[in-house]
Chain A
Amino acid sequence: MTMATRTPSRTTSRTATRFVGRLGFVVFITVVSVFFALPMVWLVVAPFDANPTMSVKWPDWTLNNFHRILENPYAFGSIVNSLIISVGVVALTVILATLAAYALSRVRIPGRDALLYGLLLLSSIVTGTAAMVPTFQLISALGLINTQLGVVLVMSGGLLPTVVFILKDFMDSVPKSYEESARLYGATPFQILRDVVVPVARPGIAFVAVWSVVQAWSNFLVPFILLRDPTLQPAGVLMYTFYTEAGQADLRLIAAFSLVYTLPVVVIYFLVNRKFGFRFYGGIKS
């Protein structure tokens, strides 16, 4: 290993490079932050405006829009419905996917990769508009039309392949030494999964849980098609009712409701991040 001779000119050029590097870093971070923050300005300004338009302007401050949202018979209930559906989807998806991902990660099942990729691809069909009729007929045949359970089942089915895929990838990188030791102590595979792997995999699980919540929260088509009773509809569907008979958006309601609709997901994300921190690959570094 050769020691580079530290001549004075080398040092100054090193400092100069470092300075330029720092400057570039600051500029980059500032630009990116502004890039992300700028569009969100409407969301914090328009809901408080008496006459919002599709542009950001200094608002005519009022809380009237929120009063109207509260008066809406379905608004508050829809947020609750969104929570119910999302929690259902996350619970079902995460539990089933953790079991499956662990097994697929640790045991050699022939055609495993092909199966996963295949299911991943098919999930893109089923979440599209073309699969609407088959999904409807299936849920109708099961007698689950107009139930939130039907919505949860359909959404979970669509999200499972992706979640399994991501979790399996995660579990592949969890070092096996702990499991080996646990096995030596006589733990059953289920106990190993529950007590050893899941705690290590928690950050990854947390991330896919939030991802599932985001998918379930924004979904319009599935709850719209499967639910009839407006008191069961989640907020993602209710958003689309704030229009007039010919399709003009009532921006006062939409702006206020957008804020109300967005906040729970953001709060959920921050809470989960605080508790678990998001990480994908739980390898122990040396």
Chain B
Amino acid sequence: MVSTRSVTGTGVVRARRNRADDVAGLGRARAGVFVAPALLMIGMFLLFPAIWTIYLGMTDFRLTGLAAAHTSFVGLGNFTAAFGDKAFWNALQLTVVFVALSGVIGQSLLGFSLAWSLRRLKGWVRTLVESLALAAWVIPGSVNAFLWIALLDRRDGTLNTLLNTPGTAWLISYPMAMIVIFNIWVGTAFSMQLFSSALSSVSPSQLESAQIAGASEFRQLFDIVLPTIKGHILTNTLMITLWTFNTFTPFLLTAGGPNRKTEIFSVYIYKSAIGSGQLGFGAAISMIMLLINLAIALLYMRVGRKR
């Protein structure tokens, strides 16, 4: 087994990767100046509305109706209402499954497989495949929904025509599978690019020596490459988890249906916030989602620190 702590340029950099090193001589004060504009923007346009939203989550605020004129503080009332709502637990379960299957497993795996298979190619094949994946990623969400509804249409959809299965209502019979696959289609490009870059930073001399030593491609993959890019895998998985958790586009495909079978958290909030105008309740659910995301992020941080 080839050691990953070899004294090559990359190895030395990697060991010091996460330790801040003020090589430019910034100093604390100037660093503060650099960070200040971003913090100001974030403070005004992100922190302020976010904290206000958290506060709203503890009121019975509605956009119309009596509660709009006389909003009262209900403390944790919205949270208890949420925990008592069957639809909430349904949304939680569906979201976890959705994130795990389409994000953590689906996009990461497909993205990595693409990056690994294409890593040595340089010609038109690589450009074509990468372009197709990136086109899917770049196309706006509302357009994507139309594309997939046309693909999965029960009567004359492309899929039914190709597989010769007329009349199969894909979005009704296999709704979760469909939005999982849809989300994989949309998001894989990000993982592919990330892993592609990560792979290109793995020292080729290490791989060469392994190959000469007789290690098969799989061995090289598992023993050299994966440990080297472990940090990137973690970052990628964290970002994908957070994004998939909050994505709203599946709503355009199934409207949360049929009968709530694809009502993931973002759809659940949309229906309660815009549907019946219960913004206080919607804010509380957002808060719960944030806490779940926080738990996930803490988990990743802990795993990351164990390196």
A binding-site residues for B, Cβ under 8 Å: 1-2, 4, 21, 25, 28-29, 32-33, 35-43, 46, 53-57, 92, 96-97, 99-100, 102-109, 112-113, 117, 119-135, 137-138, 153-154, 156-158, 160-162, 164-166, 169, 172-173, 175-176, 179-180, 182-183, 187, 189, 192-193, 203, 207, 210-211, 214, 217-218, 220, 236, 239-240, 254-255, 258, 261-262, 265-266, 269-270, 273, 278-286
Give B156's nearest chain A residue, CB to CB: A55
Contacts of A107 in B (CB 8 A): 20, 22, 26-28, 31
Give B149's nearest chain A residue, CB to CB: A54
B8 x A286 contact (CB < 8 A):
yes
A38 vs B157: C-alpha distance when bound (angstroms) = 11
Contacts of B22 in A (CB 8 A): 106-108
B41 x A189 contact (CB < 8 A):
no
Query: What is the minimal beta-carbon distance from A72 to any residue of chain B, in angstroms?
Result: 17
B141 x A218 contact (CB < 8 A):
yes
B133 x A99 contact (CB < 8 A):
no
A39 x B24 contact (CB < 8 A):
no
A279 vs B54: C-alpha distance when bound (angstroms) = 37
A-B contact list, 18 entries, CB within 8 Å: A29-B118, A39-B158, A54-B149, A54-B150, A99-B37, A107-B22, A119-B42, A124-B289, A127-B246, A128-B266, A129-B273, A138-B45, A158-B45, A183-B24, A203-B197, A236-B140, A261-B140, A286-B10
Contacts of A21 in B (CB 8 A): 217
Give the number of chain B interface residues (Cβ < 8 Å).
114
3 closest residue pairs by CB, A with B:
A157-B45, A55-B156, A280-B197
A106 x B20 contact (CB < 8 A):
yes
Give A162's nearest chain B residue, CB to CB: B239
Interface: B260 (CB within 8 A): no
Give B297's nearest chain A residue, CB to CB: A117
Q: Mark B28-51, 1 if CB is under 8 A from A, else 0.
A: 101110110111011011111110
